[in-house]
Amino acid sequence: MGILDGRVAILTGAAGGIGRGCARRFAEEGASLILADISSDGLKGITEELDSAGFQAVPVVCDVAQEAQIDEVVNTAIREFGRIDILANIAQGGIADMEYLAETSASQLLDAYTTGPLQSMLFMQKCLPHMKERGYGRIINTASHLALRGDPGFAAYEMAKGAIMALTRTASQEWGRLGIVTNTFLPVIRTPAYDLGEQLKAAAEMIEASNPTGRFGTAYEDCAPVVAFLASESSGYLNGQAIGVDGGLTLIA
Ligand SMILES: NC(=O)c1ccc[n+]([C@@H]2O[C@H](COP(=O)([O-])OP(=O)(O)OC[C@H]3O[C@@H](n4cnc5c(N)ncnc54)[C@H](O)[C@@H]3O)[C@@H](O)[C@H]2O)c1
């Protein structure tokens, strides 16, 4: 018996490092899955991986910057499974589009917001009626330790992730009485995103060297179990929280 038995979950960013690890873990815990990502090849990969392990998942190619494509994901979940219990907003665009604050352009900030807090809010709003109808929902958003620390050179990304934390807190206060709890996690996890440029490669080396656990955590083993817990019935009294899944890295200066 899995902790997500009988539940229907939408996962965005499902073809990426963390999304893929979460998709596998959610499937093993019994959830029916709608997997959304902009990468059709990546979605094919995770869907085939799940299929060969005996799990079914419905892939939907979706650019989260396009509201009509968000509608399609939500409509597919209702058409295929008739309900939505869990929304895991993991996708984020512009991860490699780094800039110092003085050089950050309006279009970089808009892109980070469109593919971060704006799309997360739209997914939440569109799932709300379905969760409200059953008096049950688990919403998990994805922020970053960088939004807490303000590390130099990631300005637009950090602002977008800060907004996601604020969005999470607002939903927790407005929707808690509906049986819907909303939390965010702040991962520091080895994924392909760290191969996207020199600045990220350097960050990965720093994490390897200084993580208090002595290692750089991985998506399936270290992150997905925490996200699966947030998605489970047992997390019903956890609301509006920001959970670092980072081995304690964020505590060091
Ligand atoms: N890995 C870390 O240490 C770390 C640290 C802080 C925050 N995060 C956050 O965790 C989440 C997952 O990151 P990851 O490390 O797995 O990165 P990743 O690059 O491996 O995965 C990101 C996924 O999002 C998808 N995506 C990007 N733009 C999209 C769009 N417009 N529409 C739909 N899908 C889109 C990509 O195709 C990819 O599959 C992101 O929100 C990221 O900001 C990760």
Q: Which entry of 113, 136, 157, 194 is annotated as an active-site residue?
A: 157
Q: What is the pLDDT of residue 203?
A: 87
pTM score of the predicted model: 0.97
Query: What DSSP letter does each residue of 60-91 carry, written as one string?
Result: EE--TT-HHHHHHHHHHHHHHHS---EEEE--
Q: What is the pLDDT of residue 253?
A: 63
Alpha-carbon distances of 227 from 10, 23, 80, 150, rounded to whole Å: 13, 10, 23, 24
Q: Which residues of the chain have pLDDT under 70?
A: 253
pLDDT value of residue 200? 85
**How far, in Å, CA of 9 to CA of 87, rounded?**
6
Residue 252 has what pLDDT?
A: 83
Asked whether the beta carbons of 199 and 151 are under 8 A apart, the reply is no
Q: Pocket around ligand 1: residues whose beta carbon is below 6 Å from it?
A: 13, 15-19, 37-39, 42, 62-65, 90-93, 95, 115, 142, 144, 187-189, 191-193
Domains along the chain with CATH numbers: 8-251 (3.40.50.720)
C-beta separation of 87 from 22 below 8 A: no
Of the CA atoms within 13 Å of residue 96, those in its CB half-sphere come to: 9
152 C-alpha to ligand 1 centroid (Å): 20
Give the closest residue (by CA) to ligand 1 atom 42.
Answer: 92
User: What pLDDT is attached to residue 44?
Assistant: 98
Predicted local confidence at residue 197, as pLDDT: 83
